[in-house]
Amino acid sequence: MDNRDFIKPDRKFAKEVIDLGGESINKCFQCGTCSVVCPLSPEERPFPRKEMIWAQWGLKDRLLKDLDVWLCYQCNDCSTNCPRDAKPGEVLAAIRSSSIMHFALPNFLAKALSSPKYLAAFLLATALLMFVFLWAAGDLAFPEGDIVLHEMISFVDIYIGMAVIMVFVLATTAIGVSRFWKNITAFEANPGLTFSTRGSLIRSFVSSMIKILKHSNFGKCETNRISRYTHLAIFYGFILLLLAAFLGAVYHLVGIDPPYPLTSPVKIAGNIGALLVFAGCVMVIYRRLSNSSDLGKTTYFDWLLILLLFFVTISGIATEVIRLAELAEATYWTYIVHLWLMFQFLVYLPFSKGVHLIYRTLAMTYAKQIGREVDRAGQS
Ligand code: SF4
Ligand code: SF4
C-alpha cells in the first residue's frame, strides 16, 4: 500500500457551500493574498487559501476536519484584499454553516431548518405543539383581576415545558459538539502540520475562554471592527438574561413570586440584558439590511437566528411595557407570543449559527494546545 493522499471530491458539498453563501468560490486563482493579509492565520499551512481550493474541489471530509475554518472570525480583511473578489471570508462562513448542518442530529431537522422552504412548517409545528401543551395543562384561560402571568401559565408548567426543551437542546448540542471535536482532533485532520507543542487542555481552554469573553480576536481585524461591539452586546446581554431567569427560579423556590419591582435584581438583570441584546440585534440587522460590504453576504442562516433573537427580545420587552400599562388581555397575548418565539429560538439553536460559539471555543482550545494559534505578531 502506498502513502498517497487520495482525493475524494464531493460535488454536492461544493454546491452546498455555494448555496450557503460561497457563490464566488470559483473565482479564486490561488494567489495567496488572503492568507498573507489574514491577521489570525499562522505561518505554517496558513488559511484561507488552502480552504478555497479544498472547497472548489468539494473536499468535504478534509474541510469537516479542518480546525482553521473555525479560527476565522469573518473579519473580511481577506475579502477586501482579494484581487479576484472571491470573498474567502464568506466562503469560510459557508463552510462553517455546512459543517454545523453535517454535525447536528437529527440531520433531517438540520437540513429542514436551513431552508426557507420549511419556515412556515416550523412556525406552525411549534405553534401547534405549544397550543397542545397549554391546552392539556389547562393554561389557556386569561385570569380576571390584576395581571399576574403565572396565574395564566403556572410555574410548574413553565418548568416542565422548559425541562423538555432543554433536554432536547442539550442532547442535540452535545452530540453535534462531540462529533465536531472528534473530527478536528483526528490524527489525519491536519496532514503535514508539525505539532511542535502539546500544552495542557485545561490551560488552553482557559486561555481561549478569556479571548472569547473579551472577543479580542475581533480587535485584530481592520475591515469589520464594529462586529466586536455587536457580538459583545448580544453575548453579555444573553448572559444577563440567563442570570435573570436563574434568579427568578431561585426567588420562586424561596417563596418570592412575581411581579417584581423594577428595582429587584431579577428585573435589573433582565432589563439591562434585554436592552443589550436589543441594541446588538438592531446594529446587526441595520448593517445587514444596508448591505455593509465589510460584513459580507447575509444568508438565510444568518437571518433566521438574528431575527428570532430580535423578536424574542422585542416580545419580552413589549410584555413588560404592556403589563405596566395595565392592558390585561394584550399582556397575556403578547406573553404567549413571547413564549412561542422563545420555543422556536431554543429549538433552532443547536442547528443555527448560535453553536458557533461552542465550536469556535473548542477549535481555539485545540489550536492553542497544539501550538497552532499563533498570530502574525508572534503572540500566542
Ligand atoms: S481567495 Fe482571492 S486572495 Fe485568496 S487565493 Fe483566491 S484569489 Fe487569491
Ligand atoms: S475573514 Fe478575517 S479571519 Fe477569516 S480568513 Fe479572512 S482575514 Fe482571516
pLDDT by residue (tens digit) across 219-251?
Answer: 777 777 788 899 999 999 999 999 999 999 899
Using the mean position of ligand 1's atoms as its centre, give its distance from the Cα of residue 76 in Å. 12
CA dist., res. 211 & res. 166, Å (int): 27
Ligand 2 centre and the CA of 37: distance in Å? 8
The C-alpha cell that represents 94 in the structure block: 459557508
Sign of the four-CA dihedral 206, 211, 215, 217: negative
CA distance 224 to 227: 6
Q: Could you report the per-residue pLDDT of 332-379, keeping only the tens digit for each?
A: 999 999 999 999 999 999 999 889 899 999 999 999 988 886 545 444
Looking at the CA of 37, name the nearest ligand. Answer: 2
Which protein residue has the closest C-alpha to ligand 2 atom 4? 72
* Cα(183)–Cα(166) distance, integer angstroms: 25
Separation of CA 46 and ligand 1 centre (Å): 13
Name the residue with cell 442535540. 172
> Which of ligand 1's atoms lies nearest the C-alpha of 91?
1
40 alpha carbon, closest ligand: 2
User: What is the overall mean pLDDT for the chain?
Assistant: 88
| Choice from 27, 33, 54 to test ligand 1 binding pocket (greatest atom count within 8 A of CB) | 33
Give the ligand at the shortest distance from the Cα of 48: 2
Residue whose Cα lies nearest atom 4 of ligand 1: it is 34
Instruction: Please state the three-class secondary structure of 104-154 as a single string.
Output: CCCHHHHHHHCCHHHHHHHHHHHHHHHHHHHHHCCCCCCCCCCCCHHHHCC
Cα–ligand 1 centroid distance for 21 (angstroms) = 16
Name the band, by pLDDT with cuts 50, 70 and 90, for residue 175.
very high
Question: Tell me: the pLDDT tens digits for 120-132?
Answer: 999 999 999 999 9
Neighbour-count burial of 364, counting CB atoms closer than 10 A to its CB (0-12 exposed, 13-18 middle, 19+ buried): buried
Tens-digit pLDDT profile for residues 264-306: 999 999 999 999 999 999 999 998 888 666 667 788 988 999 9
The ligand 2 atom at the shortest distance from the C-alpha of residue 221 is: 2
For residue 380, pLDDT over 50 is answered with no
Its pTM stands at 0.86
Residue given cell 461544493 in the structure block: 14
- Measured CA to CA, the distance from residue 142 to residue 134 in angstroms comes to 12
